[in-house]
Structure 1
Amino acid sequence: MGIQGMMSYVGEHKQFFVDLQLRNTKVIIDGNNLYHRLYFDASLDIRHGGDYDSFTNITHKFFETLTLCDIRPYVVLDGGSDVSDKKFATLKERAQEKIQLAFSISRGGAGSVLPLLIREVFKQILTRLQVPFVQSFSEADRDIVSLANHWNCPVLTFDSDFCIFDLKAGYCPLNYFQWRNICTYEESQDCYIPAKCFSLERFCKHFGNMSKTLLPLFAVMSGNDYINLPAMEMFFSKVRLPVGSYGNKFKKHIRIQGLLNWLSRFADPAEAIENVLKYLRQHEKEETRQFLWASMEEYEPSNVNLEDFFQNGRYESEEAKKQELPLWILSAFAKGLLAPFISDVLVLRRAILHAQVENIQRPSSHVTALSIRQVIYGLLLNTSESSFYTSARKHPISSTPALCEFDRFQKELRKSFVSAASFSGNFALTTLNEVPLADRLQLLLDTLEVTASVLEAVPGQLQLPVAVTCFWIRYSEPKVKLQHMKALLLGMVFGELHKILENPGIPAYNSDQNLKHKLSW
C-alpha cells in the first residue's frame, strides 16, 4: 500500500510532527521498510550481487543502538500477496519497473534494486541477535497497527499509509529516526534516539479539525497500490478543489492539499461519498459507492493477535484459515522459515521472480534453477503419485499442474506456464513435515542431481553449499569458468575462518551440521 506523493507532502509541513526522545519503549518495526532503508541509505553495492557483509554490520549497529536506549524492537515482515489478488496489476508494474532499473544500473546508470538475498540475510541477523520477528500471511500494515495500538507504542516505517491509520502512540518515519545520532541526558546519562512522530491530530487540525474518519476515504480517492478507479478521474476533472495558498509546483501535492480541503467540509465518510457521487454518471454511482466503502476497510486494524505470537508462538489469521492450509505450513510461514513466494504458489498458483542486475541480453539467471522450482511447486501443489521423483528437466511433464511464472525476458516481464514435478504419496503437502529425514535427504540430492557418495568427504556444514555448487556448474549459462570457482571457494573459506575468529571456542568442523540436520525443522 502507499499514497504517491504523500510522504514528500507531509515532509514539507514540519507542524505535522512532534519531536520525540525515544528510549525505554517497545517499538513495532516495518521490517520490509527497514531493510530497504538500511541498504540504500548506506549506498551499498547494487551492481555486483550485493554487499551482504556491510549490510550485516549496519543492521547489527542499528539494533545495538536500540538496545543502548532500552528500545525493545518487534519486527513485522510482509508475507505473500493479498489473497484477493487486487494488487496484481501493481505488482506486475513494479516488477517491470525493477527490470528497467536493473538494466539502467548494469549500464552504469541510476536506480535502486535490492540484491536477491537481502531479505533472507535480514532474517538471519534478526535470529542471531534474538530480535523478535513475525512474517504476516499477506501485507503487514494492518497487523502492525493492531499490535502497536494494543501495546500503545510507536511504529517505525516509511510507508505513507501510516499517515492514515489512527495510531495511539503515533508513527515515526524512518528518515526522521536519527539512530546514528544517539544522545544522552545530562542528569542521568541515559541514552535516547532523537526522532519525529507524525501527529494525526495536528494533521487534521491543519484542515479545520477534519474528522479522522475521512482519511481512509482520502487515501482511496487519491489512489493507493490497490485502488485504480477510473470514476475518480471523472470526479477530479469536474470538481473544483480548494487548494488555498499553496505555491508548490508538484501536481501531486496540489491534488493532495485540494482533496483534503474539499473533504474537510463534511462530517463523515457517508456524507462525503454522497457528494463524490454527484459528479459521476448515473450508471457509475452504485458501483463506485460500494467500491469506496469496501476499499476503506483496508485501513481498519486486523484481527490478527501478534501479541499471542510473540508471547506463545501462535499465529492465527482468519485470512489464512480460509485457505485451509496445513498448520505446520502456517506456523513455518509466520516464523519466516518459508519465503513469501510459497504463499503465492499455494494460494494464487503464481510466482513473480525478482529482477536483479545482470546482462540483459542473456536469459534470466532464474532459468538455471527452473528444475529446482518445479520440485518446490510439485511439493506445494500436492501432485500425482506416479513415481518417487520425475526430473522435469530430463522428462518434461504434461500431466502435472501448471503454475504461472513471471520472469524477465530481455527488458520485459514475461509470463510462462511451468509444470510441477511429480512425486509418490509420501510427499503429500499435509504430511510433508512428517516424511522421514532419509527420504527428504534423498529428494534434495535427486533435485540437485548429486549422490551421497560425492559429499562423504565434505565437512558437514559445507555439504549443502557443495551440492548446490555441483548443480550450478552443471546448468549455469554462461558456463562456469575457473575464476568463478576460485571466487566461490574463497568466499566459503573466508566464511569458515570468520566463524572461527568470531567463536574461537567452537570447533570449525561439526559433524552434526550435515544435510539431515538442516532438513530436520
Structure 2
Amino acid sequence: MGVHGLWRFMTSQRALIKKYYLHDTKLVIDANNLYYFIQLESGISNEYRGDYHVFADKVKSFFGLLRKCGISPYLVFNGCQQLDQKLNQNIYKAYRNIHAVQKITKGKNAKLVPELGFETFKHIIVEIGIPFVVDDFNVKKNIAMLANEWKCPVLSSDSDFFMFCIEGGFVFLEQMNFPIKTIQNERTGKTITSLYCNFYDFKNFTKMFPGLDITMLPLLRGVSSWRDDDQQRLFANFLDNLEQAPADFGIKITATEKCSITLSLLYWLKNQRSVSEAIGNVTQFIANEERDRAIKIMQDTVNCYKELESSFNMKKYFETGQFEFSVNATNMLKANGNPLPQWFLKSSNRGNVARFCLEVLHQQSLVLYSQVENLEWESSHACSRHIRQVIYGILILHDMDKLPASKQSVEEYDRNGINIEKCEVKPILN
C-alpha cells in the first residue's frame, strides 16, 4: 500500500541507507512486488497485452543473478485481501487501469500488466525451481517474521517494510540488473561474487530518531495513504494542521522541502505516548459524523501489522514441504463466517487456487481490471460472465441457505464506459 512520501524520505537519508554486498544468504522476496516491478519497470512493452517471452527472459535473468551470488530466494505471494480492507484501493486501481487503456489506445505510453502475466510468473518460477508459497492474507508481517527467523534480508520496493524491525535488513528492489561486484574475503582471501545494492537497517532509524517508537509507524499508513483518494480527503484537515518539525529534530538528517510532511508526521508520532492516544488526537480534526470511520481505518491499519499471522508455519514449509497449521492464527473464513477446510488451504498455499477464487470465498466480491480494448464497447469481461457464475456456484452455492438474501450473490465491479459499476451476479451450477 505504502505511505505517502516515506520511500522518498528514507532513501534520501545517507545515515539510513548503506551500500551493501549481498551474497551467500537466504533472501525472502515480496513476490507480488517483484512481479509488478519486472512487468512495469524493466522496459517490457505491454500495449498488445503481453510479450510473455520477453517477460520470461527477464524473470530468468533476475534469478540467474541471485544464483551467481550464492543467494537462495524464497518467494512469498499475497493471498486474499482482508474483508473490506482494500476494496476502495482495488477500485482505484481499476480506474487507473482505465486511464492507462485510454493512453495506450491513443498511441501513448502507459503502465499496464497483461491479464495472464501473474499466472505466467508463477509458471516460470516453478519451471526454474524457485521455492514459493502463497500466504493466507496480504500480510507483510509474515514476510518480516520469516526473514527474522532465518536472520536474512527482505527484498521489496514497498515502503511498508520500513515499519518492521527486520534483523537481516531490507534490500531495495530498484533495478532489474543489480551491479555484480567481486570482493575478497579478508579472512580467507577467497574471491566472492555479490550483488551491490542499497540496504536499510532499522537500527539506523532508531539512532536517527531516539525516543520514537518504531512499532507505532503503522499509524502513518493509516493517516497518509497515497492510493486512496477518499482516505486522503478524510485525514486532510489533520495533515494540514500538523506542527512543522523543528530544525533540531533527528540526528544527521538530510532535510528537503519534499520531505517536510514526512518529518512533521514523524515528529508528531514521537510525541504520542500510545496508539490509542495518537488515534484520539487525530480524531479531533475529523468531522463528528466521520470519526467512527476514521478510527476504524487507523485501528485496522495498526492491527494488520500485529494481529494477523499465517495459519501455517512458513519456515517449516520451506524447509520440509510439510504444513504445520497453527491453532491460534487467524484463519481465512468464508463469507458466512465458517473456516475454510485445511485441504483447501494447503492447495491455496501451494499456489494451486486462483486468487480471485479466494476473494469470492472470503468476501463475495471481485474487482475486474480492464484490458486494452475499445472503451466505448462493453467490457471484455462480459463474455465470460456465465463461466464466472458457474465458478461462483461451485465455490459458494452450497452455503447460500446460511446467508441473508442480500448476500446471496457476488458483487462484481467492472467497467461500464470509463466508469466502474457494481453488479450483483448470481451463482449458478449450469
> Which bracket does the TM-score occupy, shorter chain normalised?
0.7 to 0.9
Listed as ranges, the gaps of 5+ residues in structure 2 are: 249-253, 401-406
Equivalent residue of 1:320, what SS? coil
Distance 2:272 2:289 in 1: 24
Given the superposition, is the C-alpha separation of residues 200 and 376 from structure 1 closer, same or farther in structure 2, using an over 3 Å criterion? same
Residue 238 of structure 2 is matched in structure 1 by 235
Residue 315 of structure 2 is matched in structure 1 by 307
Counterpart of 1:53, as a letter, is H
Shift of 1:319: 2.6
Given the superposition, is the C-alpha separation of residues 301 and 203 from structure 1 closer, same or farther in structure 2, using an over 3 Å criterion? farther
Give the greater-gyration-radius structure (CA): 1
Distance 2:280 2:425 in 1: 47
Distance 1:282 1:57 in 2: 54
Distance 1:255 1:204 in 2: 19
Alignment partner for residue 259 of structure 1, among 259, 265, 274? 265
For 1:369-448, list aligned pairs within 5 A.
369-383=384-398, 401-422=408-429
Distance 1:228 1:138 in 2: 22
Residue 107 of structure 2 is matched in structure 1 by 108
For 1:139-150, list aligned pairs within 5 A.
139-150=138-149
Shift of 1:85: 1.1
* Contact 1:155–1:171 (CA under 8 A) maintained in structure 2: yes
Counterpart of 2:93, as a letter, is R
Distance 2:257 2:227 in 1: 24
Counterpart of 2:198, as a letter, is K
* Contact 1:164–1:219 (CA under 8 A) maintained in structure 2: no
Residue 195 of structure 1 is matched in structure 2 by 197
Equivalent residue of 1:138, what SS? coil
Distance 2:284 2:237 in 1: 11
Residue 355 of structure 1 is matched in structure 2 by 370
Equivalent residue of 1:196, what SS? strand
Residue 2 of structure 1 is matched in structure 2 by 2
Residue 72 of structure 2 is matched in structure 1 by 72
For 1:120-269, list aligned pairs within 5 A.
120-175=119-174, 179-186=177-184, 187-223=189-225, 228=231, 232-242=235-245, 244=247, 248-250=256-258, 253-266=259-272, 268-269=274-275
Shift of 1:223: 3.4
Equivalent residue of 2:84, what SS? coil
Distance 1:283 1:120 in 2: 43
> How many residues in Structure 1 have an aligned counterpart in Structure 2?
406
Q: CA deviation digits over 1:490-514, x for unaligned, max 9?
A: xxxxxxxxxxxxxxxxxxxxxxxxx
Distance 2:366 2:297 in 1: 28
2:335 is equivalent to residue 320 of structure 1:
no
Distance 2:290 2:383 in 1: 49
Given the superposition, is the C-alpha separation of residues 285 and 244 from structure 1 closer, same or farther in structure 2, using an over 3 Å criterion? farther
Q: Relative CO higher for 1 or 2, CA cutoff 8 Å, sep ≥ 6? A: 2
Distance 1:281 1:92 in 2: 25
Q: Percent identity?
A: 27
Distance 1:336 1:309 in 2: 13
After TM superposition, the score normalised by the length of structure 2 is: 0.84
Given the superposition, is the C-alpha separation of residues 115 and 294 from structure 1 closer, same or farther in structure 2, using an over 3 Å criterion? closer
Given the superposition, is the C-alpha separation of residues 5 and 213 from structure 1 closer, same or farther in structure 2, using an over 3 Å criterion? same
Q: CA deviation digits over 1:325-360, x for unaligned, max 9?
A: 233321221111111110111121111112222222
Equivalent residue of 1:190, what SS? strand
Q: Which stretch of structure 1 is more off in the superposition, 185-194 or 23-32?
A: 185-194
* Contact 1:69–1:191 (CA under 8 A) maintained in structure 2: yes
Counterpart of 1:149, as a letter, is N
Given the superposition, is the C-alpha separation of residues 306 and 109 from structure 1 closer, same or farther in structure 2, using an over 3 Å criterion? same
Distance 2:144 2:261 in 1: 27
Give the structure with the higher percent helix: 1
Equivalent residue of 2:309, what SS? coil
Q: Which stretch of structure 1 is more off in the superposition, 332-341 or 295-304?
A: 295-304
Distance 2:372 2:290 in 1: 44
